[in-house]
Structure 1
Amino acid sequence: MLATIVLIYNIIEYNRSVRRAGWSEVINKKISDVIVYADDEVPEDIYFKALAVNAAFRNLFLEKLVDSEKKFSGVAKNKITDLFTEYDLRKEAMKKLNQKKAYLIARGIRELTVMQVQDAIPKIEQYLSHPSPQVYHEAQYAMVRFKGFEGLHFLDNFPTRISEWQQLRFLLSISSLPADSEVGISRWLESTNDTVVIFTLKLIKKFQLLYAYPNVIRLLNTTSNEVRVKAVQTLMSLENPETVQYLSGIYYDQPDEVRIEIIRVMKMSKDQCCIDLLKKELLKDVPSGIKVNAAQALYELGHGDYLVELAGKEDMSEELVQIIKYALQEKGC
């Protein structure tokens, strides 16, 4: 009996797979024809029209359109959107928002977002507080895609970690900032959610928000090393001539992870004010990661001869000699 049930199930799944493959060919041809031909030259497809009333076919059609939209731009992209409108596939996407399964809701949000269905915004916004990460991630992204910077309002009270991928999606979706963006930026820099702070630092870096410089400096006193490291990177990107001198002054107040990042900033800065600090770090009893970066920084700042001389001294430890050789070899010396 069980074997019979399994056999029947496999047959059903096979038939479904074959049907899906056949439908995919029909849909791909339709999309190709619409993109290739002018509007009045698209071949009439009676078979496609007959299939277009089937719910399963329509959902597959919508899935293919969403996937295709990512691959095209300009006129071709507009034609994909026109197909979505012509066959009223908005209904299929909206229906998913009323489903109970998280993956279906997330898919519906993604479809409405990709197809830029503006009147779906109020409905999608309700899912920002959905318990499923799969759903609220898509809702967040939708808000930013639709509204840009204004769509980030959920960051005001967002307790959950924002993944690197999600942060990247947000950054790529924001092309400009409104005149009053400083209010939100300042508020998010004070968030108790480290990932909100880190994302805000990325915004500051992307848009070169020089007014945020003092606020970024204050983050070097926070308890999160990850935030401190990102703050150092952001300070460097803002290209303030006082940055290296300031970082030199707080260097010894920072944990090793942050010190290494400060040395990397010194290396890129070409600022000679930090040479004494770098030489001291190279000779002190500190983690090898700090010494390696200090040696590399000294070379980049034009002190390769000093490194060669130091490595040649008889009383130098084997570890330091190897670190210096490594730094010089990396630079092809």
Structure 2
Amino acid sequence: MLISSVHFLFIVFMVMLSLVMVLVMVVLIYNFVEYKQSARTTTWSGIINQKISDAIVYDKDEMPVNPQFNILALRKPFRNLFLQRLVDSEKKFSGAAKNKIRDLFKEYSLRDVAMDKLSQKKLHLIAQGIGELAVMDQKEAVPKISLFLSHPSYQVYLEAQYAMVRLKGFEGLYFLDILSAKISEWQQLRLLLSISSLPPDADFAIGKWLESTNDSVVIFTLKLIKKFQLLSFYSKIKELLSTSSVEIRIKAIQTLMSLENPETVAYLSTIYNEQPDDVRVEILRVIKWSKDHCCTDLLKKELFEGNTSGIKVNAAQALYELGYSGYLSELSGQEELSEELIQIVKYALQEKVC
């Protein structure tokens, strides 16, 4: 019985030892493969970087011949890495250097590599391919990229939106007509930076987007109006100050101020009482920024009667910016005022509240 138990334990020990040895071998093989791939990538990156440098420095007929590069350029992994390095380099250069990088893209038919990614199942590869085509200004890929505007993957359709605008400019924004998803702040910035000019008939589309049921589309459109100083939309923006979205109202106020109409501050003071508290705070901020004295009575009233401390603070700060520091100093010495109001006034006067 004892011998059987010892024999069983020995077998268990040998099995466990074998498993450990197998695991060690797997880890070693994995690390070796990773090392080989890393070493290969490092070597290839050096060759690719040299090729890009030569292309930028030399004219086409003076380019040093590199047979090794041409052989490697036939291999799919190398072509993928080459494309990635070209995209990274394109973002760093401008002018003639950028054009030479794009010439390499065409010379080695790397468009095929990027297009192939659009048919992959892995979402990050699809998004990567779309981005590469956009960076390399492949306008002929627009019909294919447009199919991804309704893709269920957030990552993919964001890249498709950006690519459409980068490749087609303002005309690429047509997806806003039916967009239901929210456009993030970062995406809005990317889209805005990709639009350098507006077509003559842009007003029709912009007017339609201002009426969108998607708040983020309206907000993006307001930023577009601000960027290109579209004064013709002044009246239409004023209409947004009665919309249900507080965020849109605030953005509308900021856009109105950017259009620099001398009547804006006075107009905002007339609708002040109709606005929710957050919008009132924004109006007080623009009054402070504008330094328009037409609203002095409103500021004094809100300092005493404002619904929130935030409103009172902004009213006090606006009065200070308008040159009413003497008035505020007098208030700070009136003991009959509430402690909160005295602290707010002192804060506006930039005094230390004890």
Could you tell me the TM-score, scaled by structure 2's length? 0.90
Q: Give 1:58's match in structure 2, choosing from 79, 82, 87.
A: 79
Aligned-partner residue type, residue 26 of structure 1: I
Q: Which runs of 4+ in 1 moved over 6 A?
A: none
Paired position in structure 2 for 1:307: 328
Match of 2:183 in 1: 162
> Does structure 1 retain, via aligned residues, the 8 Å contact 2:306–2:312?
no
Q: Secondary structure at the match of 2:35?
A: helix
Pairing partner for 1:19 from 40, 43, 49: 40
Q: Which residue of 2 aligns with 1:328?
A: 349
Change beyond 3 A, Cα 1:285–1:169? closer
2:139·2:168 contact (CA, 8 Å) conserved in 1?
no
Deviates more, 1:35-44 or 1:290-299: 35-44
Alignment of 1:173-252 (within 5 A): 173-252=194-273
**SS in structure 2 at match of 1:329:** coil
Residue matched to 1:81: 102
Q: Deviations over 1:290-323 (max 9, x none)?
A: 1111111111112121111111212122222222
> 2:164 is matched with which residue: 143, 146, 150?
143
In the other structure, the counterpart of 1:44 is 65
One-letter amino acid of the counterpart of residue 47, structure 1: Q
In 1: Cα distance, 2:42 partner to 2:48 partner = 10
Per-residue deviation at 1:10?
A: 2.1
Specify the SS of the correspondent of 2:271: helix
Letter matched to residue 50 of structure 2: K
Measured in 1, the distance between the counterparts of 2:162 and 2:262 equals 36
Alpha-carbon distance in 2 for matches of 1:32, 1:70: 15
Deviates more, 1:69-78 or 1:206-215: 206-215
Stretches of structure 1 lacking an aligned partner (at least 5 in a row): none
Aligned residue pair count:
330
Maintained 8 Å contact 2:210/2:218: yes
Aligned-partner Cα distance in 1 for 2:76–2:306 = 70
Q: Distance in 2 between matches of 1:328 and 1:37?
A: 63
Q: CA deviation at 1:6?
A: 2.8
Residue 71 of structure 1 corresponds to 92
Deviates more, 1:124-133 or 1:300-309: 300-309
Distance 1:283 1:293 in 2: 12
Which residue identity is paired with 1:147?
A: K
Per the TM alignment, residue 285 of structure 1 is displaced from its structure 2 partner at its CA by 4.9
Distance 1:172 1:223 in 2: 29
Identity between Structure 1 and Structure 2 (%): 67
Name the CA distance, whole Å, in 1 between partners of 2:310 and 2:263.
25
Is 1:278 the counterpart of 2:299 in the alignment? yes
1:264 counterpart residue number: 285
Task: For 2:149 and 2:328, locate their aligned partners in 1 and report how far apart those are by CA, in whole Å.
Answer: 56
Deviations 1:32-73 (A, max 9, x none): 122123333322212111111110000000000000000000
Whether 1:7 aligns to 2:28 is yes
Paired residue for 1:104? 125
- TM-score by structure 1 length? 0.96
Partners of 1:289 and 1:211 lie apart in 2 by 34
Q: Secondary structure at 1:276's aligned position in 2? A: helix
Distance in 2 (CA, whole Å) between partners of 1:135 and 1:31 is 29
Residue 229 (structure 1) shift: 0.7
- Secondary structure at the aligned position of 1:131 is classed as coil
Task: Please name the residue that 1:30 is paired with.
Answer: 51
2:141 to 107, 120, 123: 120
CA distance in 2, matches of 1:171, 1:285: 37
Counterpart AA for 2:250: V
